[in-house]
Structure 1
């Protein structure tokens, strides 16, 4: 499922009600939605995000933002060394190189439209 207005979702299938369920991810507030088909699920996701934003506006509350832009990363010293070398070879800081690499991979993944569903 593609992000909507900057929000993403975690999706799973519940056999009990034969429906897909989702939660908006990356925020403290709980925003749940469900649908029986992928089309219903997508529409419910969009409606829930819109309702959440409208509710926050009515309450005079800033909606939670899914991501701050700060990302802590742990890796092995070997990978860190390779990243440092790759960044230097392109005249970039390690931070910029990682950001560019993550953007490239994330755009490809999101463009595919694939969503992993937990059961």
Structure 2
């Protein structure tokens, strides 16, 4: 499976590349701080990511702070006028509000993806 993320100890990190420097780099995602890592190969990047996660989690423990960014449970989505209209009509036809229709669609999208 191709993926642009790394996972370790419940943390998620990005995988990016800099062709000019011939480097791979990334940062921890969904945290309140900035933690980055870089390497010259994918295996080395994964090792640097894991080291960064271990250090970040140790720092959070030492400071008594929660490592992950809390999610509010709400977000804005831009889907275009035509899709918005189709969604509203289908939701109304099925006796649903927009929020419930979107929640159902998102739940269907992530079924089986509960890996984090």
TM value normalised by structure 1: 0.64
User: Does residue 95 of structure 1 match 2:99?
Assistant: yes
What secondary structure is seen at the aligned counterpart in 1 of 2:88?
helix
Q: Deviations over 1:24-82 (max 9, x none)?
A: 23333111012322232223223322321221110112224164322112343332221
In 2, Cα distance between equivalents of 1:74 and 1:28: 25
Specify the SS of the correspondent of 2:78.
coil
Aligned-residue RMSD, C-alpha? 3.3
Paired positions, count:
111
1:70 paired to 2:74: yes
Assess if the C-alpha contact under 8 Å between 2:31 and 2:69 holds in 1: yes
Q: What is the CA–CA distance in structure 2 between the aligned matches of 1:33 and 1:73, rounded to whole Å?
A: 30
**Corresponding residue for residue 41 of structure 1:** 45
Q: Which has the larger radius of gyration?
A: 2
Partner residue in 1 for 2:63: 59
CA contact (8 A) 2:32 2:67 kept: no
**2:32 partner SS:** coil
